[in-house]
Amino acid sequence: MKKDAEIKLLNRERKKGLTQKLAAAKAGMSARTARKYERGGFLPSEMPRPPKLRTRPDPFADVWSGIAELLAGDDALQAKTLFDLLVERHPGRFEPGQVRTLQRRVEHWRATEGPGRLVMFEQIHQPGNLAQSDFTDMGELAITIAGELFVHKVFHMVLTFSNVEAVNVCFSESFEALSDGIQAAFWQFGGVPAIHRTDNLSAAVHRLERDGRKGYTGSYQALMNHYGCIPDSNYPGEAHQNGDVESSNGKLKSALDQTLRLRGSRDFETRAAYEAWLLDQVRRRNDTRQTRFAVEREALNALPTASLAQPKIVTVTVTRFSTLLVLGNTYSVPSRLIGSRLQVRLRAETLDVYRGSQQVAFIPRLIGRGGHRIDYRHVIWSLVRKPRAFAAWRFREELFPLLVFRRAYDALVEARTPSSADQEYLRILLLAASGSEADVAIALEIMLEQKVPIGSSAVRDLVREPGMPAVPHVTTPIVDLTVYDRLLAPRCAN
């Protein structure tokens, strides 16, 4: 179809007196086409167009009113769901290939008769005004440390004006992880934004009234007050209100995934090596944002003189089982602390346990609730004295620190009576607690490989006696000084 400009050119050339054939050639069309438009007397855009005729009957014509009624009642119904309903109600009438026809009809209904949609409003961010943060799970990257899967999260903060970001590795969405992440980000930015917005984390946000008004936990409010930052959070179910960091989460993980593919390995020697790599990748991303960040940095509020060290402290009493119950998780402590009242300082990854002003234990923190962390060194002395308690002990499986210990116990069970096997295994575990767990493990590996009977005496013979390190024999060489006399003799003669 010709364009209006071409027909206008044809008309101008004809007014100049050119023949229809020449004018058509100048306008880039055939004489026949020129003749059609001259006879019609209108431009291509003014030509009447025939209506689009349906080539086949609508298979949903007589059932559409029912479909429209269902959609009016619940706009979230999908065309495939409605098609399956029609197939169920009218067996043999509809074919699978017709589902696309119904999808087009539903799309047309939504656009012409459906309810209005939520409008998004593009925001103009001011420098230094807002930072958004979120926790994101890193499981999809399949990071391993020394061959072991490293299950972790990342606290992620973004300055909305410059999109400069900061990350901090963590294992839960606890307040301690939130506090560590916020403070690390502020100090990395070199300043504090006016407002910090986060999701409705229980570590930071709680409901004040039944009408839905929300407030902030005392610890989180104290943290924000320390930095002179206004706390904010998005409404439940409205993740788009934290859209900058939500979007950045996906982009960050996608970029990390691509770098890992080029690296050829997702394994790191140590956690420190992985964290150094992660921070370097974030630094590289931030290098492309320095122009806007230079503007934003000037608008950030000043940092306080020091970060806020405010671990949550809980007071607990050590049970007669030599355990503590902290936030729904059970931890063992040395048995000498049974009955003691202790203070536990909760940190993102550890529990610092104090009796008075003296620290008496340092325990890795568990994630979630209902878990337990039992160190066999805390209870082995009592179990050796009460070996029958081992068989039905609640935390019995925690007394197999390595797979080789479990294999050794199974071998003992096959060779001895159950009570004798338990007693002998506990004596072996006592050797590991008193000396070197690694040495005992090696001794057990040797005995299992050579298929010799396993026993505490045999293991003791293969490892060093606990507390009695071998003293190496040092031989002192005799120095013959006459060699130097022979070397100096010629010089003295001269």
Tokens 């502020």 belong to: 186
List Cβ<8 Å contacts ≥24 apart for 81-84: 82/106
The CATH architecture of the domain made up of 130-299 is 2-Layer Sandwich (3.30)
Query: So what's the pLDDT on residue 4?
Result: 86
Query: So what's the pLDDT on residue 440?
Result: 93
Query: So what's the pLDDT on residue 122?
Result: 67
Tokens 């979230």 belong to: 76
Q: Tell me how far apart the alpha carbons of residues 395 and 388 are, in angstroms, rounded to a whole number.
A: 14
Gap between the terminal Cα atoms of the chain: 117
Is 304 in contact with 227 (CB distance < 8 Å)?
A: yes
pTM (2 d.p.)? 0.60
Q: Tell me how far apart the alpha carbons of residues 445 and 96 are, in angstroms, rounded to a whole number.
A: 63
3-state SS record for the chain: CCCHHHHHHHHHHHHCCCCHHHHHHHHCCCHHHHHHHHHHCCCHHHCCCCCCCCCCCCCCCCCHHHHHHHHHHCCCCCHHHHHHHHHHHCCCCCCHHHHHHHHHHHHHHHHHCCCCCCCCCCCCCCCCCEEEEEEEECHHHCCEECCEECCCEEEEEEECCCCCEEEEEECCCCHHHHHHHHHHHHHHHCCECCEEEECCCCCCEEECCCCCCEEECHHHHHHHHHHCCEEEECCCCCHHHHHHHHHHHHHHHHHHHHHHHHHCCCEECCHHHHHHHHHHHHHHHHHCCHHHHHHHHHHCECCCCCCCCCCEEEEEECCCCCEEEECCEEEECCHHHCCCEEEEEECCCEEEEEECCEEEEEEECCCCCCCEECCHHHCHHHHHHCHHHCCCCCCHHHHCCCHHHHHHHHHHHHHCCHHHHHHHHHHHHHHHHHCCHHHHHHHHHHHHHHCCCCCHHHHHHHCCCCCCCCCCCCCCCCCCCHHHHHHHHHHHHC
How far, in Å, are 324, 331, 355, 490 from residue 340 at the CA level?
10, 14, 8, 80
Two tokens, residue 17: 């007196």
Two tokens, residue 457: 């005496």
pLDDT tens digits for 139-168? 999 999 999 999 999 999 999 999 999 999
Residue from 362, 398, 368 nearest 380 by CA: 398
Phi, psi of 322 (to 5 degrees): 65, 40
Query: So what's the pLDDT on residue 239?
Result: 46
Count Cβ atoms within 10 A of the Cβ of residue 199 and give its class: 0-12 exposed, 13-18 middle, 19 or more buried. Answer: buried
Query: So what's the pLDDT on residue 405?
Result: 95
Is 395 in contact with 426 (CB distance < 8 Å)?
A: no
Query: So what's the pLDDT on residue 475?
Result: 60
Q: Tell me how far apart the alpha carbons of residues 84 and 307 are, in angstroms, rounded to a whole number.
A: 60
Two tokens, residue 179: 């506090």
The one-letter amino acid code at 329 reads N
Is 141 in contact with 260 (CB distance < 8 Å)?
A: yes
Query: So what's the pLDDT on residue 295?
Result: 94
Query: So what's the pLDDT on residue 208?
Result: 54
Phi, psi of 316 (to 5 degrees): -135, 160
How far, in Å, are 164, 181, 287, 299 from residue 161 at the CA level?
8, 20, 15, 11
The one-letter amino acid code at 362 reads F
Q: Which residues of the chain have pLDDT under 50?
A: 239-240, 466-471
